[in-house]
Amino acid sequence: MKKLVLLVAVLLVSVTFTYAQFTFTSIDFPGGTLTTARGINNNGEIVGAYRIVPPRHALLIKGGQYIPLAPTTVLGTNYSEAFKNNDRGDVVGEYLDDAGFAHGFLLSKKGMLTQLDFPAASDTYAYGINESGTVVGQWDLLDSNGNVIAQHGFTWENGSFTQVDYPGSANTTVFGINARGDLVGEWDDNVVAHGFIRTKQGQFTSYDVPVAGATLTQLTGINANGQILGVYIDAGGAEHGFLEVGATFTSIDYPGAVTTTAWGINSAGQIVGNHYGSDGIAHGWLAERSNHGPKAANWSQFRFNPEHTGSNPFENILNPTTVGSLDVQWKFRTTYSSLDGQPTVAEGVVYVGAYFDYNVYALNASTGALLWQYATGGVRWTLHRQWLTACSTSDRTMAISTL
């Protein structure tokens, strides 16, 4: 039999739940019998699938509108599902042909549909895409009885496939890729499934959730800030989503759900996934941090993101109506220097470099109080997990732990 990847099962409705660190919004396609939410880009656009009657079809949710993807193509006639989308509006996913074999697809913002098939593969699944247009996924080879005899990950870039395998693994799947080119996925030895991270430089690291007795770990997403999303199965057989930010691990469970899976995370930390209740019906969900105001306003690098757009699409306080009421909340004076770099704001802390006194300052974002300072001469800062990196006036690049 085919090996099934753990794909547990979007109109956003007004029902929300605040639970522990997250505020959840229920996602259900109107009149649908199944809804999945697999990916969310930095514009807040969600992709997944809906079903009214079988089969399911790929779906985009944009500005509150539910948009079937390429409905006049094979995506609208055959089984199809979208898995990830980038900020340009490109979408990747899978569809089944009339013989039941899977093919990856890339749907451009302009509507061009490209079929993705790894050479000589029986099935190809496209699970992720980044801002550069690099696609990642999985391919397999079946015997005459439909049994999987090979399963490997891949990247696809500029029309060329490259196979990806965790060293020594029996099977590998790549589920996600971020703007930097880091990969996340799953590998197994035909006994236990583990997550993995592969850096852009090609260094692999195996990952297992820090939960006693867990029997499976999948890494399903990674954003530009290096925050990792995934799924695990506990000792009792229940499935949960999880988020790891730096050294902080957080289990994610939709309130009242029997099963929760987490699939997509954007740079603002918005997360999408799926859950099943006791009735067995699949639903999508969107989760934001309960104190999402400061977190959504994070400005963790020069001009906000790796593309240097200079715009935060998740700003939820400032708008043309409120900007006129801005006032000075606090001031901070450096030793004897002007500030010559754009501040970095993350997790309630402002980091700023002073050009002539060769210090970087960490300030409380609410009060302006000095938390610490360090002599570097750095003027432009990027925060990645707990590491603050800078280019200094002395022609050096350095990393400082914020912990």
- Which CATH number is 244's domain given? 2.120.10.30
Report yes or no on 306 lying in a domain: no
Please report which confidence band the pLDDT of residue 112 belongs to, taking 50, 70 and 90 as the band edges. very high
Say yes or no: 121 and 266 in one domain. Answer: yes
Say yes or no: 271 and 341 in one domain. Answer: no
Say yes or no: 248 and 339 in one domain. Answer: no
What is the torsion angle, in degrees rounded to the nearest 10, for the CA atoms of residue 352, residue 298, residue 135 and residue 273?
160
* Contact between 344 and 381 (Cβ < 8 Å): yes
Token pair of 53 as six digits = 């009657």
Say yes or no: 111 and 44 in one domain. Answer: yes
Say yes or no: 360 and 267 in one domain. Answer: no
* pLDDT of 224: 87
Report yes or no on 374 lying in a domain: yes
Report yes or no on 3 lying in a domain: no
Residue 254: which residues within 8 A CB-CB, separation 6 or more?
17, 19, 24, 260, 273, 275, 285
Token pair of 379 as six digits = 């003027």
Report yes or no on 188 lying in a domain: yes
Look at the chain and report how many structural domains it folds into: 2
Report yes or no on 311 lying in a domain: no
Say yes or no: 93 and 239 in one domain. Answer: yes
Q: How many CB atoms lie within 10 A of CB 191?
A: 6
Report yes or no on 308 lying in a domain: no
Say yes or no: 270 and 361 in one domain. Answer: no
Give the residue with greater pLDDT, 220 vs 276: 220
Say yes or no: 229 and 358 in one domain. Answer: no
* pLDDT of 304: 76
Of 240, 267, 290, which residue constitutes the final position of a domain? 290
**pTM of this structure:** 0.72
Say yes or no: 118 and 266 in one domain. Answer: yes
What CATH number should be reported for the domain holding residue 380?
2.40.10.480
* pLDDT of 149: 95
Report yes or no on 1 lying in a domain: no
Q: What are phi and psi of 231, to 5 degrees?
A: -135, 140
Q: What's the domain range around 187?
A: 12-290
Q: How far, in Å, CA of 390 to CA of 377, rounded?
A: 9
Say yes or no: 110 and 177 in one domain. Answer: yes
Among the ranges given (107-111, 163-167, 311-315), the one the predictor scored with the smallest mean pLDDT = 311-315
Of 243, 272, 290, which residue constitutes the final position of a domain? 290
Give the residue with greater pLDDT, 188 vs 4: 188
Say yes or no: 281 and 332 in one domain. Answer: no
pLDDT (tens digit, 9 = 90+) per residue, 255-311?
999 999 999 999 889 999 999 888 888 899 999 976 544 444 577 777 777 777 777
* pLDDT of 370 above 90: no
Of 234, 266, 290, which residue constitutes the final position of a domain? 290
Say yes or no: 92 and 182 in one domain. Answer: yes
Report yes or no on 299 lying in a domain: no
pLDDT (tens digit, 9 = 90+) per residue, 138-163?
999 999 999 999 999 999 999 999 99
Helices marked H in 175-253 — which ranges? Answer: none
Q: What percent of the chain has pLDDT over 90?
A: 60
